[in-house]
Amino acid sequence: MLTRREAELVNETLPALRQHGEHISTVFYKTMLRDHPELNHYFNSVNMHTGRQPRALTALILAFASNIANISELTEKLERVAQKHASLVIRPEHYEIVAKYLIRAFSAVLGPAMTPEVNAAWTKAYWLMAKMLTGREQIIYKDFGPWTDWRAFTISAKTPETSEGDIVSFTLTPNDGCSLPSYNPGQYVTIRLKVKGLKYLQLRQYSLSDAPRPDSYRITVKRDIGASPDTQLDPRQFTAGLDGPPISSAASSASDSSIGSIRPHRPGLVSNVLIDDFQVGDTLDLTHPAGEFFLDANDPNTNPVVLICAGAGAAPLYPMLKVVSEQGQGRPMSWIQASRHDAPFREKVEKIAQTNPNVKAKFFRSRLADGDVISLTSRFQEDFIGLNWEDLWLQHNLTEYYVCGPEKFMGEIGGHLLKNRVDPARIKYELYSVGSFEMKR
């Protein structure tokens, strides 16, 4: 750990680093990717363009430094990062590169205040975090068994999940014919593909949308139609935040062309290509299932489970419903789903509810299922609040809640549950982006 003096030096510089988070992000990524262009293969270029990736990394290290005397507060954040890194095949040598350019960016911001003593303290703080992450990642890789790199799969089925065709499932079969490892429902895989016109490979995470099978995986992809003026998200007007304390205007770093490799932003850079161009018989590279958002399929408890989703957010929750209902343990479950038009998996969910008396299902129409909106222009909030306590199992103080959907949607759901005195520890959120979703207390 840091000595008392080292911790003081780090804490003294935190205000300046938070204030200039945007500049740190820009300098760090600009110089690192200039000198190591091969790292572009690892970054989601859309998150780079929008500024979410720079914001998340800068916020994470500052959050770590702020809590260095109480690391347990960051356990969930660090686990999310370690799982994501393992899914991207990040190795210890990558941390060496990041250390060099991150400390250089801190020096550019702090100027004369970055004395040799401060430099040494921040370097030590970074490596404390890095060693925690690499240590956890090595355990994850060990748990993966022999599959710790990319593996070729063939698309064996392509199935529209809505009448509009905007949400499509892909069944993927391993080319080597070997049996696939199981996973906890809610986890994801990373896919890798080449997009025409782009120099670097594109990597994306997609939730596994079916119960585990030894012969195939299934992912579900939603078409991205892009943001319109009434769906632009103002981060000051919703209840969730990304990793760590606020940093000044980090998201606006996307306006710097040295960060964004896609300009102007092309919606659905990978998802639309998958839906439009990839057909049965085509191949994709995948990594081992990973992720910290899951329902433990081996947990014998019978506490109620409430699954709340919007749009493609149904993808990681449907396997939870299917696996628990098939176990036949009598565990009560509620499925609550919002959608703008057709609800993906609705027929499958209703079939489970019809044959399992322990399962309830409710469906609502809402624009919140499409994306992040500032104003609530549907009856969803009214409908959701109107659900009775039995639907939400609010009367049971051990009920578990799993929520997945756009950020505004999750903010509304989380806020309602907290108002009804649900312990925050019993609510799990899945954010389809870099960083993590947190409710403000």
438 is catalytic: no
Q: What is the pLDDT of residues 30-65, one digit of tens each?
A: 899 899 999 988 877 667 766 677 777 778 888 888
Q: What is the pLDDT of residues 381-438, one digit of tens each?
A: 666 666 777 889 998 999 999 999 888 888 888 988 998 899 999 999 997 755 555 5
Q: How many CA atoms lie within 13 A of 348 on its CB side?
A: 20
Backbone angles phi, psi at 79, to 5 degrees: -65, -40
Q: Which two tokens stand for residue 224?
A: 């991205």
Confidence of residue 379 (pLDDT cuts 50, 70, 90): low
- Supply the DSSP string of 270-285, one letter for each residue: THHHHHHH--TT-EEE
Q: What is the pLDDT of residues 334-351, one digit of tens each?
A: 999 988 788 999 999 999
Q: How far is CA 238 from CA 193, 304, 407, in A?
A: 34, 29, 8
Confidence (pTM): 0.86
Catalytic hit among 29, 95, 188, 318: 95
Catalytic hit among 6, 22, 137, 161: 137
Dist. CA 172–CA 282, nearest whole Å: 10
- Supply the DSSP string of 53-98, one letter for each residue: HHHHHHHHHHHHHHTTT-GGGGHHHHHHHHHHHHHTT--HHHHHHH
137 is catalytic: yes
